Each structure stands twice: as structure tokens, then as C-alpha cells.
Amino acid sequence: MKIPAIALNTFREAVRNKVFYLLLFFGVFFAFSSRFVSMLSVGDQQKVLMDVGLGSIHFFSVLVAIFTGINLVYKEIEKKTIYNILSKPITRLEFVLGKFAGLALTLLVALASMALLFFLFLFVTTGSFAPRCLIFFGLLYIELLIITSLSLVFSSFSTPILSSIFTVTLYLVGQVLWTFQEFKTRLHEPFSRYVATALYYLLPNLDKFNVKNEVVMDMPLPGGRLLAAAAYGIVYVAALLTLAVVIFRRRELK
């Protein structure tokens, strides 16, 4: 009852905030840009629409995840609303989980709205549905949950600006983490190789969730790969939330 109460309140805050204006902007941006690009480009119009559309959705939803996550937790502390919540019989674990659940619900609604808009636009423009895009949205959602958990970890001990920088940096590193494996083979010193290996396993490997090319180009997507990516995502989120709770429990609210 307490976790859903905090989750619903977080969702309500996000909805009554500016997040959905951003989505509206996305809708207009997407509708115009993908059509414009498809008119300019040579080749399969549907593939271009999908490529630009899914790319835009990826970009905007990551933005929403980073800034909603950091902003909502930061505001609780900065505006001191957290004092009131934690003076009630609420544990810090319940608070973090409630916040996470609320952010996850916000992202689900945001992503579902964008996906709906995308499918509608694709259908009106090309007359087809492209159900494989659902795989893209599913994995993107897990990626967004990792980003939200990262922002929760950082905002549990840091300022919003630093949290944004940390989260964006880790997001960018996460996109190209596969290069660490390549990089490792070129290192000669054992210590540097250990560091590269440790970073490869510790940092979020977000590339695992990007199946845009496979979906757009109609390339095969083995079930095993998808399941492994989903399991990796869930374990990573659980680890980050545990870390956020541990840090937040130690935090003193001056």
C-alpha cells in the first residue's frame, strides 16, 4: 500500500509536470521529420520512417528517463517534501522502490504513447503495422529502467547537475561498451587489462538493448539473445536499486 502510494504520487507529479509537453513536442517533431526524411531519401519509405521514428523515440525517451529520474528525486530533497514522507512509517527501502515504481510507470505510459503514435503514423503513411517494432520497444523499456535506476543511485547522494552528468556519461559509455572488449586485446599490461575487464562487466552494457537495425532491416533476432538481454537488464536494475537503497539509508537529511 505504501509503495503504490508513493509510486502513484510520483507518476502524478510527472504527469502534472512538463514531461508530457516534451512528448507532444516529440510527436510533432517525429511526424514532420520522418516524413521529410523519407521524401528526401532514396529507397524503402517504410524502412526510413521506421529508422528515423525509432531513433527519435529512443532519443526522447532516454531524455525523459534521465531528467524525470533526477528531477523528481532531487525535488523531494530540495523542496523538503521528503522530510514529511520519511517522518511517516515509511522505510527508505519503500521510498526508493516507490519512487522507482512511479518513474517506471511514467516511462511506460510515455513510451506506450510514443509507440502508439509511431504505429499510427506508420500505418497511415505506409499502410503496414511492423509488429517487430514491439521487440524494440520492449528492450528500450528495459534500457530506460536501467537509466532511471542509475539516476536514482546518483541523486541519492549527489546534486542534480552532477547526477545528470554522471548519468549521461554512463549512458554514452554504455552505448559503446562493446569497444572495451576490443580495447582490452590491445592492452599489454595485465593491470590495465584487469581494469578494462572490470569496467566492461561493471558498467551498463546498453548496446545489448539496441535492436533498431535488426528490426528495421528485418534481420534475424534469436530468442536467446533477447532473453539474455532482458535477464541482464533485470539483474542490473535490481543491483542498482540495492545500491541506491544502501546509499540512501546512510544519508542524513540535514
> 5 or 239: whose CB is closer to other proteins?
5
Please, are residues 241 and 88 in contact by the beta-carbon 8 Å criterion?
no
Q: Do residues 53 and 140 lie in contact, with contact meaning Cβ atoms separated by under 8 Å? A: no
Among 43, 79, 124, 223, binds other proteins (CB under 8 A): 79
Cβ count within 10 A of residue 58: 19
Does 6 sit near other proteins (CB under 8 A)? Answer: yes
Q: Quick one: which of 37, 90, 101, 135 contacts other proteins (CB under 8 A)?
A: 90
The DSSP line for 149-193 is: HHHHHHHTTS-HHHHHHHHHHHHHHHHTTHHHHHHHHT--SHHHH
Residue nearer to other proteins on the CB measure, 91 or 213: 91
Among 42, 43, 87, 131, binds other proteins (CB under 8 A): 87
Q: Which three cell numbers stand for residue 106?
A: 511514467
Q: Within 10 Å of residue 235's Cβ, how many Cβ atoms?
A: 10
x/- letters, 127..166, toward other proteins (CB under 8 A): ----------------------------------------
* Residue 80 touches other proteins, criterion: CB under 8 A: yes
Residues that bind other proteins (CB under 8 A): 1-2, 4-6, 9, 12-13, 16-17, 79-81, 83-91, 252-254
